[in-house]
Structure 1
Amino acid sequence: MTPSATRQLWLLALANFAIGMGAFVVVGVLSPVALAFGVDRAHAGALMSVYAGTYAIASPLLIAATGRLDRRRLMSIGLALFAAGSVMAALAPSFALLLAARALMALGGGLVTPVAASVGVALAGPGQQGRALAIVFGGLTFAQVLGIPAGAWLGYALGWQAAFVVVAMLTLVGLAAIVTALPAGIAVPVASLSKLGKVLRDARLMVAVAFTALFTGGLYVCYTFVAPLLESLYGLSRDGVTGMLLLFGLGAVVGNAMGGRLTDRIGSRRTLVLLCLAQSLLMPALTLPTWPLAAVGALMFIWSVFGWSFMVPQQARLAALDPAQLPVLFALNASAIYVGATLGSAVGGAVLKGLGLHALGLFGAALALLGLASLAFRR
């Protein structure tokens, strides 16, 4: 891979960092938002649901409808919409307008992340797609480590609006970098609404995309309730939970890099099989017994490594299945992440009510094994 291509991949990672921070920063500021608008925290959780639902539905349609637009221009439009939504959120005088701002951010994010993935594949040389995608999606994983905790700190220290102001500023920096340094005319397969319809009718491709929802869903069965788990089983408070989440974030960075290396060395499908088997063991190990605190920290880190390794091999797998449908497949795959997060949170909530914290890992493992079974579907 040329130095120029590598620099351009890091620009795409910067754009993804801003998108990742903006998408999930509400997780850390739900309490201040709920207090500001006089709603309970469950109601404030709609800020994530609205973003996820809008992204899941709109992203594939927008990518298909704008298939003939230059990729640099399309990403610039997406980043501009995301920045505008972030500013609108910071200035929102009511909870309803804040929800509308989150929907606008989702429209912008839905144009950036899948396009960045397809551009990353186009910039990569032969046998280097895994490394290229690891760089591009490194922005999202670094948002987990740095962006979300920083946004939460800003939300509590300066007011929740400050978190959205910072997101807007980072997005504008990413926009300037894309406009000035990413070349126009990067050749990627052209998306269209007819191609979207073709993919939606293709059982083989849709089962392949469904893997993302199942694997992500398994992760979120446990991740959604990891703070209550750490508080109830290990007596951790704010600082202890924050430390464990930092270990999880560091594991995400390592996992993203590991997924790229494994994909280039043993192939995408074998990597995904390995990750599913690892998750089916790690999640029950995390929740069923009670461990010494040091062992819990090690498990959190390893669980995250093997969890966040999946995105690169899954993207590479989709690219190999049908290169002509690449933009549509990447858009559907990005949507499947949010479908999986919603699925996992719902399953985890039901398990928590019915069976308790210790059972979460078993149901997370079950979804991971369903993802493993989907890899066998080839027709």
Structure 2
Amino acid sequence: MAEAGAPRAVIWTLSACNFVIGMGAFVVIGFLRPVADAFAVSSGTAGWLMTVYALSYAVLSPVLVSLTGAVGRRRVLAAGLAIFALGMALCALAPSLPVLMGARALAAAGAGMFTPVSAAVAAALSPPETRGRALAAVVFGLTLAQVAGVPAGGWIAYTFGWRAAFWVVLAVALAGIWLVWTRVPRGLRFRPVALSDLGIVLRDGLVMGAILFTTSFLGAIFVLYTFVGPLLSETMGWGRDGVTLALVVFGVGAVIGNLGGGWMADRLGAVPTMVTLCIAQIVLMPAFSGLPYPPALVLLLCFVWSLVGWSFMAGQQVRLLSLAPEEASVVLALNAAAIYVGSAIGSAVGGAVLSSAGTGALGVAGGIAAFLALGHILWSHRAARLRSLGAG
């Protein structure tokens, strides 16, 4: 196990590497239009780069985490980053859109090994009273990618070409492998997991219903977020600099929301936090259907929307660990997969809305999806209470 001073260093190392994962996963949002132009397809078709990544992560992550359950955590983390880096290299070299999608799927497999294991390590190294903040710290890297990684990738893509953005992610991923290998202690092992553990969780309707709240909540957000670049270009007339600034503001909100969500989860409770955030999404997202607004108001809207959108993850993870503490690694892997199922569904729905009703309908569609997410968390909480009463 880690020595006394190691947990903080380990947690922030994992957070830094999750920054790399987040940048590689979501960087295409910042340059969907250049990719679409390069391969002579629509923005909606290019949006499938997010959908393919998401579906690949969702399918492969729980299986790969289960298959590697008996392997030392440092090796799994390093291997996941190495596979992710290989995927980024193939993305940069892809001669066609199908090849690019295949490379994205490979990168998703590596990310699917890394992120849930990093969360399980953070949870295991932290006492219960600070677990929400520890998980928020690990996820901080993913949200920081919204501040720096995604906007920087978009700026690089518009300035030097979209392939250059993937090369940058590759370089940072290689540095991440070194960081994991030198900073994460050898011999970190927790209760081994196997495919049988995956089966146990998959057959538990209550736990799976709770996990899938991640899908419904983030799916609502990605209806709009995937196409925020084309939306701002069409309604506000913003190009590279305007879209990049909006993504930076969105990212700042994501970072503050992530840290605030950990605080809320530890003090207010997971379910009240998530209900509040759903209501906020229902109110905020339809406002995007009213664009254009004054630029300062648009940036404020992006900030608040992101703030409440990214505040939910720590509370969701704490709730899942309370429902299935013995299956922590598998539950967190499935939750990470649910993130990408949500982004896949949201991206696909957003693409359909964009094609059929135009950019003006994206905000309203996202608000409707957030209303469904609210119903989901209320149902899931009621089911959990009924089970606990029955067990008592």
Alpha carbons of 1:31 and 1:331: their partners in 2 closer, same or farther (altered >3 Å)? same
- The corresponding residue for 1:330 is 332
Stretch deviating more after TM superposition (310-319 or 88-97): 88-97
Matches of 1:307 and 1:292, distance apart in 2: 22
Deviations 1:111-131 (A, max 9, x none): 001111111111222311111
The 8 Å contact of residues 130 and 313 in structure 1, kept in 2 or not, is answered as yes
Deviations 1:170-214 (A, max 9, x none): 111111111111113334343211111111111101110110111
Shift of 1:317: 1.0
Deviations 1:107-158 (A, max 9, x none): 1111001111111111222311111111111111111111122222223333
Q: Name the amino acid aligned to 1:158.
A: F
Matches of 1:344 and 1:277, distance apart in 2: 18
Shift of 1:342: 2.0
Q: Secondary structure at the residue paired with 1:23?
A: helix
Superposition pairs of residues 101-250 of structure 1, within 5 angstroms? 101-250=103-252
Alpha carbons of 1:234 and 1:316: their partners in 2 closer, same or farther (altered >3 Å)? same
- The corresponding residue for 2:390 is none
Alpha carbons of 1:47 and 1:300: their partners in 2 closer, same or farther (altered >3 Å)? closer
Shift of 1:251: 0.5
Matches of 1:228 and 1:77, distance apart in 2: 36
- The corresponding residue for 1:275 is 277
Deviations 1:208-260 (A, max 9, x none): 01101110011112223333443444444443333222211111111111101
Matches of 2:160 and 2:229, distance apart in 1: 24
TM-score, structure 2 normalization: 0.88
TM-score, structure 1 normalization: 0.91
Superposition pairs of residues 1-379 of structure 1, within 5 angstroms? 4-34=6-36, 36=38, 41-288=43-290, 291-355=293-357, 357-375=359-377, 376-377=379-380, 378=383, 379=387
Structure 2, unaligned stretches of length 5 or more? 388-392
The 8 Å contact of residues 147 and 248 in structure 2, kept in 1 or not, is answered as yes
Stretch deviating more after TM superposition (299-308 or 164-173): 164-173
Stretch deviating more after TM superposition (341-350 or 207-216): 341-350
Alpha carbons of 1:167 and 1:292: their partners in 2 closer, same or farther (altered >3 Å)? closer
Q: Name the amino acid aligned to 2:225.
A: Y
Stretch deviating more after TM superposition (80-89 or 356-365): 356-365
Matches of 1:292 and 1:94, distance apart in 2: 39
The 8 Å contact of residues 15 and 140 in structure 2, kept in 1 or not, is answered as yes
Matches of 1:98 and 1:359, distance apart in 2: 29
Alpha carbons of 1:2 and 1:302: their partners in 2 closer, same or farther (altered >3 Å)? farther
Q: Secondary structure at the residue paired with 1:25?
A: helix
Q: Name the amino acid aligned to 2:91.
A: A
Alpha carbons of 1:244 and 1:346: their partners in 2 closer, same or farther (altered >3 Å)? same
User: What percent of counterpart residues are identical?
Assistant: 50
Alpha carbons of 1:121 and 1:24: their partners in 2 closer, same or farther (altered >3 Å)? same
Q: Name the amino acid aligned to 1:136.
A: V
Stretch deviating more after TM superposition (339-348 or 137-146): 339-348
Alpha carbons of 1:366 and 1:181: their partners in 2 closer, same or farther (altered >3 Å)? same
Matches of 2:177 and 2:270, distance apart in 1: 31
Alpha carbons of 1:216 and 1:98: their partners in 2 closer, same or farther (altered >3 Å)? same
RMSD of aligned Cα (Å): 2.4
Q: Secondary structure at the residue paired with 1:68?
A: coil
